[in-house]
């Protein structure tokens, strides 16, 4: 038997998948929580692309502490690297356009800030972090307010002057009303590519346009080629598979 309180260990973090790395500093913080004197040497930095079999880092310190912290550190590293990797795949599909990939609020409870950080590591951008960091007028808000114009007018009266107002639109008629009402951003929700193209041509750069709804790796290229400014994808945080890291 060994005295695990005294035994020292040096262990490698290895990836078994190709990946965009995210969460190395977070893994270090987890290990350090149980062994403040541990040494953590990363061989890559967050957002780096690595191949299967790569050694990501080496952790040295108290064996009991390292093994106790191992699962939490790996869970976070695998989850965040999975989000960064899937985001990078989506971004690659639209890199020939000027469209920017953005995330949504479809995140794991308690992990929103970390998961949105992972999106940035994968080359995407963040949408709003919470309800109060941007006003989005969706169909239920518009219905209760009595229309797009009245909804925008009411929102404009109560939000801070630097807070943007986005309006969700299902068709070109609503796009025209939202633009006339003074929306800062217009979301083209579940529109066909043809409908989005007509909306892009009508708005003609006067406000940014966001495409949302039913976006996947098969159709995102065509949606980006309509000329929209942003495409939001809930899948990158909601459905990303964890990277296999041991």
Angle between helices 172-181 and 148-158 (to 10 degrees): 30
In the chain, at which residue ranges do the beta strands (DSSP E only) sit? 8-14, 19-20, 39-42, 49-50, 55-62, 100-102, 135-137, 165-169, 185-189, 209-212, 230-232
- Residues taking part in catalysis: 71, 106, 138, 168, 189
What is the CB neighbour count within 10 angstroms for residue 238? Answer: 15
SS3 243: coil
Q: Do the bridges between strand 230-232 and strand 209-212 make them parallel or antiparallel, or are there none, so unpaired?
A: parallel
CA 115/CA 226 separation, integer angstroms: 28
User: Phi/psi of residue 21, each to 5°?
Assistant: -75, 140
DSSP one-letter string for 87-111: HHHHHHHTTTSS-EEE--S---TT-
Q: How far is CA 157 from CA 30, 160, 191, 219, 236, in A?
A: 45, 9, 30, 38, 34
User: Phi/psi of residue 8, each to 5°?
Assistant: -100, 150
């Amino acid at each position: 038997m060994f005295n695990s309180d005294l035994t020292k260990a040096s262990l490698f973090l290895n990836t078994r998948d190709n990946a965009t790395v995210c969460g190395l500093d977070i893994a270090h913080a987890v290990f350090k929580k149980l062994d403040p004197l541990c040494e953590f040497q990363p061989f890559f930095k967050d957002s780096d692309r690595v191949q299967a079999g790569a050694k990501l880092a080496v952790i040295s310190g108290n064996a009991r502490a390292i093994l106790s912290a191992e699962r939490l550190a790996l869970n976070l590293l695998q989850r965040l690297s999975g989000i960064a990797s899937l985001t990078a795949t989506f971004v690659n599909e639209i890199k020939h356009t000027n469209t920017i990939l953005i995330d949504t609020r479809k995140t794991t409870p308690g992990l929103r800030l970390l998961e949105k950080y992972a999106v940035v590591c994968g080359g995407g951008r963040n949408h709003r972090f919470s309800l109060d960091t941007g006003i989005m007028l969706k169909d239920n808000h518009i219905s209760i307010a009595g229309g797009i114009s009245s909804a925008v007018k009411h929102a404009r009266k109560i939000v801070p002057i630097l807070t943007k107002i986005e309006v969700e639109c299902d068709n070109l008629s609503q796009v025209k009303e939202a633009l006339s009402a003074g929306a800062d951003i217009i979301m083209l929700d579940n529109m066909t590519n043809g409908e989005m193209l007509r909306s892009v041509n009508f708005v003609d750069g006067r406000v940014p346009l966001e495409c949302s709804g039913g976006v996947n790796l098969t159709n995102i290229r065509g949606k980006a080629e309509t000329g929209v400014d942003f495409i939001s994808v809930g899948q990158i945080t909601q459905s990303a598979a964890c990277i296999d890291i041991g």
